[in-house]
Structure 1
Amino acid sequence: MRAARTIRRYWRETALVILVILPWAALFPLGFLWLWRNSVVNWWILAAATMGAAAFALRIDIARSAMVEAQAEAEKASPPSPEWGAREEEAWKLVQQIARETQPFSFTEAEPIRVALERAVDAVATHFHPGAPHARLRITLPEGLLLAERLLRDLRVAIITHVPGARSIRLSDAAWAKETFDRYGEATRRVYSFADVILRLVRSVGNPKGGFLAEANRLLIGQVGGFLSMRLRAELTLLLIHEIGRAAIDAHSGRLRLADDELSTAARVESEAAEEDLVGPVRILLLGQVNAGKSSLLNAMAEQVHRAVGPTPMRSDVEELALKFEGRPEVVLIDTPGVGNEPAASKTLRDKVETADLIIWVASATQPARSLDVEALRKIRAIFKDRTDLHMPPVLCAMTHIDELTPAFEWVPPYDLIRADRPKAISIREAIEHVGDLLDIPCERIVPVYVRDIGGAYNIDLLWNLIASRLDEARAVKIRRLQSVAAGFSVPAVLSQMAAGGRWLAKAIRQTRS
């Protein structure tokens, strides 16, 4: 009844569509009639066959290149997250491999889609939990709920962006459409199929050539339409598998242990200086040998003396200094004793490294022995190789004592290290390359600095700019650390949850009795 009312309501619009389309739809039979009367039908068939052969060759090329081009577009639209570590990137390669091996979905059947998506999720879960039973379920209830929340939020954005009239279509409209289809859909499809068969038979009997051409045209249009949609279907298939794989990686790597507001709370617990920033100030660890210039660098970056400096080690403790300058990143500098082989020093190094977001290795340009630097950096990299739940902080290098390089009596900065047209500039550049090779730090992450005199400090602004360029990477390290901490068992947290549950239960009982 509602369908009939709708047709009666829009009969003018329906008539308008018919009047516009009918003249163009009549062109095919009228054109064929003209070809028949002018005896050029055979020539038309020959031309159509030639074009069909060319179309067949083009079809083969499309089939060969569609997946390759779709893969390139999908990888561009869905790149790996810059916050991922090595283990997450390995899982992402598994997802990409599954996406490449999956034939484009037709999007008319649900079963192939379900099988492919479950394969991607299981591959990620097995990667993070090898040998574990029910690996895909090894996430906590809060993680599952946060995952569902994020997927539904992304789905909402996609619907608003790509579905015409999404803000106007009500769920009641969808329910009516489903009821109508369930009631009349199958009967309508049968009537249409029967009428189509009868029409094709009548056409073939009454006009064999016309019937043959109509069937060829029908087949050609169907094949062309299918192949023209192949790349689109391939891109959608790859994107769908990529996004489901991305969600599975975030869930099983522990990245969903904390929501954004919980991250902010955890950051405030770790550092009272956290304010509006999601994870608070970046924690920068200053490391290097004794007398490399760590305290002098801290003073230069702070633009005032906070640590005493001298020819011998002045202090053996660790000091943290929060810095907040306009136009510069908010950071916490952590000055440490010189690296060494003492057990206490190694324990301090490990503890501080695991709570750092970024490392500045302070290396003296005039230090001939660098075995302590090399060994300490090797230990740090080994820490994060074993701790797959943490990310390795980015490592920068501040090369001090550059004024003492040959010629020792020349110190007239600034120096152009690209052209290196002065002897001092050549010495600085060679020192950078030497330190970079030994410590396995790219030269573009090494800044030569002069920090002996705060008032005459050199290249500190360049060091700040380098820190700013690595800020996103450092924040990703901090988020990962907070998530790892949240995954551990906490007696106070459990007691707090028990107390909250008890209060809720008591309140529910009182409401029931009243």
Structure 2
Amino acid sequence: MNKINKTFRFLNGHANRLLTLSVVGFIFPLLLLSGVGLYAIITYGYIHYFVLVLLLSSLLIAIPRWILQKQYKRPATHITEESLVDPSPDWSEEERRIWDKLNASINQKLQQNNDWLALKDHGLALALEVAQAYGKQELDFTVPEGLTMLEEISRRYRKVLNEHLPAIDKISISQAKRLYDFHDKYGAAAKETYKYGMLAWRALRMTNPITGLASEVRGKLLGSMSDQALAAVQNKAKRALLQEVVKVGIDLYSGRFVIEQSQVGNSKVYQHDDTQLAIPPEPVRVCLVGQVSVGKSSLVNALIKSMGAEQDPLPSTHTVGVYPCVIDGEEQLRLIDMAGLDGSQTTLENTLTEITQSDLVLWVFKANQPSRQLDIALQQQLDAFYADKKNISRKKPQIIGVLNQVDKLKPTHQWAPPYNLNDNANAKVKNINDALAFNRSTLGLTNLYPLALPENKPSWGLDSLEAEIQAQYEHAKNVQLNRRRTDSQSTAGFKGQSKRLFKAGKRVAKLSLDKKP
């Protein structure tokens, strides 16, 4: 470090002389060496080989680069896979849409002005767009939250730079400042000297037109590549900074910065299920919903048996039942058997509450019951809940549809599983596929699995359903984390304000006592 500081002091003190010394010490020997080499090439008759090597070396780099550009070309408004900043896994679907929309806004702003000095205005504009997406006004946050936002942007952006920009941790602010000062003071003169030197070098090189032309082509190709590579690195760094502004803004306006990690506790519904079980992480909360007599309780029994859980078979229930599913000594799932939809508003509201407090939903339908009015009403209430701006930060649990009792579809006398759903020549399979298509179109479900759990007959479809539950397990964990944060915000905010009020009261009381004679 001392050597570097001495070097900068020497550059500042002798800059005018260094320009002359640079010409004499570097450019002239380079020209001399090039002239000697060119003379040797011409003398020994290697000129054509030399030109061929120059062109081939240029094409070996230019052609793969052109192919890669064609292969990975993307629209300017689309976020590519090379983005340095990724969205948070516990965001809601609406927050992901906000993220995608503002990423397009980032690209548009950088196309209009990608200067480093313009990033401040871009960042403020993006912060306003995030606030508007949440239905809030500009700068609608407290002073501690604003400071937290700046601190978080700096922390995250520092991590991005350390991971993606080489040697960024070796450059100090003082070194960068000296370089900029030196550039501002002598940059124009150095640029002029370099320009005239290159003109002289090109003039000398064109004394042999063949060699000069080949060198010009090679210089243009490689120079263009290096300039584009440098511009790409800078564009990624600029985009990453603005993406961090958007990402932190989403976390801020969603209330995630109101509480600290230590204040994230267990959700209210989890405590209501069993107040004795408070060991995080919580088991995935799987809610089973559907109309009356669709076979939810039978499905709970089948899942517990099939997964080898430490539970006895459960009787049918007409009220909400909570069943821990312990596997290998650990409670991994918590099955919530809801009362069936019966058309009453109370049941509908209770079911909606349980769904929004769950991590995964099994929506069970009876295959030979075409009426879906009660299911449609629940779906409309569910869509309205997550469309409400006050619930914009809630992550919606994944819904897995279960078309139960497919063994009762026509022909009812036929039941010989397993069935190949691609075999529409089979009358049973055709009716199963028709029922699946009807329910998918009616309720807009993408994940819908046929199931049959008849008594004294072989069951079918349970393995596929279990595999889908396992596939959605990680997503359910992210839904749970989102739910726990949301449940903890109000409690944490009250506790924080109470602590501040208590501390303020102590200070006032202490000052009052100190002023007494």
Q: Name the TM-score, length of structure 2 as normaliser.
A: 0.70
Asked if 1:446 corresponds to 2:449, the answer is yes
Q: Distance in 1 between matches of 2:466 and 2:72?
A: 46
In 2, are the aligned partners of 1:300 and 1:451 still within 8 Å (CA)? no
In 2, are the aligned partners of 1:257 and 1:486 still within 8 Å (CA)? no
The superposition leaves residues 19-77 of structure 1 with CA deviations (integer Å, 9 ceiling, x where unpaired) of 9999766454557789999xxxxxxxxxx9xxxxxxxxxx9999999984676673553
Partner residue, 2:417: 413
Matches within 5 A, 1:392-431: 392-419=396-423, 422-431=426-435
Q: Distance in 2 between matches of 1:366 and 1:26?
A: 93
**Match of residue 361, structure 1, among 360, 363, 370:** 363
Secondary structure class of the residue paired with 1:330:
strand
In 2, are the aligned partners of 1:99 and 1:237 still within 8 Å (CA)? no
Q: Distance in 1 between matches of 2:227 and 2:401?
A: 57
The superposition leaves residues 94-127 of structure 1 with CA deviations (integer Å, 9 ceiling, x where unpaired) of 32222332346998x6312222233222222222
Asked if 1:435 corresponds to 2:439, the answer is yes
Asked if 1:84 corresponds to 2:85, the answer is no
Q: Distance in 1 between matches of 2:155 and 2:424?
A: 54
Structure-2 change in CA distance of 1:470 and 1:256 (3 Å) = farther
Partner residue, 1:467: 469
In 1, are the aligned partners of 2:289 and 2:364 still within 8 Å (CA)? yes
Q: Distance in 1 between matches of 2:378 and 2:196?
A: 84
Structure-2 change in CA distance of 1:354 and 1:250 (3 Å) = same
The superposition leaves residues 352-391 of structure 1 with CA deviations (integer Å, 9 ceiling, x where unpaired) of 2331222211111122433222222222222222343433
Deviation at 1:339, TM superposition (A): 0.7
Partner residue, 1:56: none
Deviation at 1:291, TM superposition (A): 1.0
Q: Distance in 2 between matches of 1:370 and 1:347?
A: 17
Structure-2 change in CA distance of 1:73 and 1:340 (3 Å) = closer
Secondary structure class of the residue paired with 2:117:
helix
Secondary structure class of the residue paired with 1:324:
strand
Partner residue, 1:15: none
Structure-2 change in CA distance of 1:181 and 1:391 (3 Å) = closer
Partner residue, 1:43: none
Asked if 1:380 corresponds to 2:378, the answer is no
Of residues 249-258 and 484-493 in structure 1, the stretch that sits farther from structure 2 once superposed is 484-493
Q: Distance in 1 between matches of 2:95 and 2:244?
A: 14
Structure-2 change in CA distance of 1:301 and 1:377 (3 Å) = same
Matches within 5 A, 1:179-328: 189=187, 192=190, 225-227=226-228, 229-263=230-264, 265-266=266-267, 272=275, 273=277, 275-277=279-281, 280-303=282-305, 307-309=314-316, 315=318, 317-326=319-328
Q: Name the TM-score, length of structure 1 as normaliser.
A: 0.71
In 2, are the aligned partners of 1:67 and 1:234 still within 8 Å (CA)? no
Secondary structure class of the residue paired with 2:401:
strand
**Match of residue 106, structure 2, among 99, 103, 106:** 99
**Match of residue 80, structure 2, among 74, 80, 83:** 74
Partner residue, 2:340: 338
In 1, are the aligned partners of 2:79 and 2:104 still within 8 Å (CA)? no
Deviation at 1:251, TM superposition (A): 2.3
Structure-2 change in CA distance of 1:115 and 1:490 (3 Å) = closer
Q: Distance in 2 between matches of 1:416 and 1:202?
A: 79
In 2, are the aligned partners of 1:288 and 1:339 still within 8 Å (CA)? yes
Deviation at 1:397, TM superposition (A): 1.7
Of residues 329-338 and 66-75 in structure 1, the stretch that sits farther from structure 2 once superposed is 66-75
Structure-2 change in CA distance of 1:335 and 1:122 (3 Å) = same
In 2, are the aligned partners of 1:398 and 1:449 still within 8 Å (CA)? no
Matches within 5 A, 1:50-61: none
Q: Distance in 2 between matches of 1:411 and 1:64?
A: 55
Secondary structure class of the residue paired with 1:96:
helix
RMSD: 5.3
In 2, are the aligned partners of 1:365 and 1:431 still within 8 Å (CA)? yes
Structure-2 change in CA distance of 1:491 and 1:34 (3 Å) = closer
Secondary structure class of the residue paired with 2:327:
coil
Of residues 395-404 and 140-149 in structure 1, the stretch that sits farther from structure 2 once superposed is 140-149
Secondary structure class of the residue paired with 1:361:
strand
Asked if 1:124 corresponds to 2:130, the answer is yes
Deviation at 1:405, TM superposition (A): 2.1
Q: Distance in 2 between matches of 1:166 and 1:238?
A: 17
Percentage of matched positions with identical amino acids:
20
Structure 1 residue runs of 5 or longer lacking an equivalent are: 8-17, 38-47, 49-58
In 2, are the aligned partners of 1:71 and 1:235 still within 8 Å (CA)? no
Q: Which amino acid aligns with 2:102?
A: V
Q: Distance in 2 between matches of 1:191 and 1:20?
A: 17
In 1, are the aligned partners of 2:320 and 2:336 still within 8 Å (CA)? yes
Q: Distance in 1 between matches of 2:429 and 2:66?
A: 60
Secondary structure class of the residue paired with 1:488:
helix
Structure-2 change in CA distance of 1:461 and 1:200 (3 Å) = closer
The superposition leaves residues 137-160 of structure 1 with CA deviations (integer Å, 9 ceiling, x where unpaired) of 223556556545554443443444
Structure-2 change in CA distance of 1:416 and 1:30 (3 Å) = same
In 1, are the aligned partners of 2:259 and 2:493 still within 8 Å (CA)? no
Deviation at 1:332, TM superposition (A): 1.6
Q: Distance in 2 between matches of 1:174 and 1:185?
A: 17
Structure-2 change in CA distance of 1:202 and 1:154 (3 Å) = closer
